[in-house]
Amino acid sequence: MLNAHDELRKKATVLDTFYSLEDNRSPLESNQIANWLKDNIRVFAICACSEERGAYTGEWQRVEVLSCDIFANVLFLDSGGTELVVPYSLYKIHPIHCTYPPMCMQLCMYGVGPPEADGRHEWGDGPKNEWRKLLREDLPMAISVLKRLNAANDNMVLQSNEPAWRRPGVLFVRFLKVHGDSVTTLEKFCSPARFPNSGVPQNDMPCRWDEK
């Protein structure tokens, strides 16, 4: 775990050192990005990050552009998460920085859905915040991977309204347990004591297994 953090910091330093030099930066045009996405071409770039995001993982980060209009929705490949950024913060990524895979895996917890009383298929802010609290960044976690989504087509470009679990490279996870805990993270999350900021076990969530 510590080695992974050290490696992330090393990669971030390399990117910051390279792209902090203006001669190494070549801006991407928002119209060109939009056209590539319309043509089902996945777009990867370097993003000039906010001070808050860049405090630990660097000012210049590798991203995949998921959509681009007035704002661009980007997925941070090494630090994780998505964010709306201004298109002029996106630059061409140099080939030497495309030689290693994303350092943050996209995981989807399979077999859990929003609380039934919520009446919605989308997760509310309450359950999402509760789930984040249960995930520990300071301790190792054991996971059991069921399947990698879109394994046969890793170059799929999704429409902007598609759910995140359909993205290429997403790993479906059934079992997740923080080191030292006596119960799984999913059991904690689905505890009635956490309602309405909880989940409900559902075998066909986020989709039926034969749909993948």
Per-residue model confidence (pLDDT) at position 210: 59
Q: Give the pLDDT score at 54.
A: 84
- Residues in the chain with pLDDT < 70? 1-2, 116-120, 150, 209-212
Instruction: For residues 104 and 66, give the distance between their C-alpha atoms in angstroms, rounded to a whole number.
Output: 16
Distances (CA, A) of 71 to 48, 75, 76, 79, 197: 14, 13, 15, 20, 31
| pLDDT for the residue numbered 84 | 96
Measured in whole angstroms, how far is the alpha carbon of residue 139 from the centre of its chain? 20
pTM confidence score: 0.87
Predicted confidence (pLDDT) per residue in 152-190, tens digit? 777 788 887 888 888 888 889 989 999 999 999 999 999
Q: What is the pLDDT of residue 1?
A: 53
Taken in order of first residue, the domains within the chain and their CATH numbers are: 2-97 (2.30.30.140), 107-211 (no CATH)
* Predicted local confidence at residue 185, as pLDDT: 95
pLDDT of residue 161: 80
Cα 152 to the chain's mean position, in Å? 20
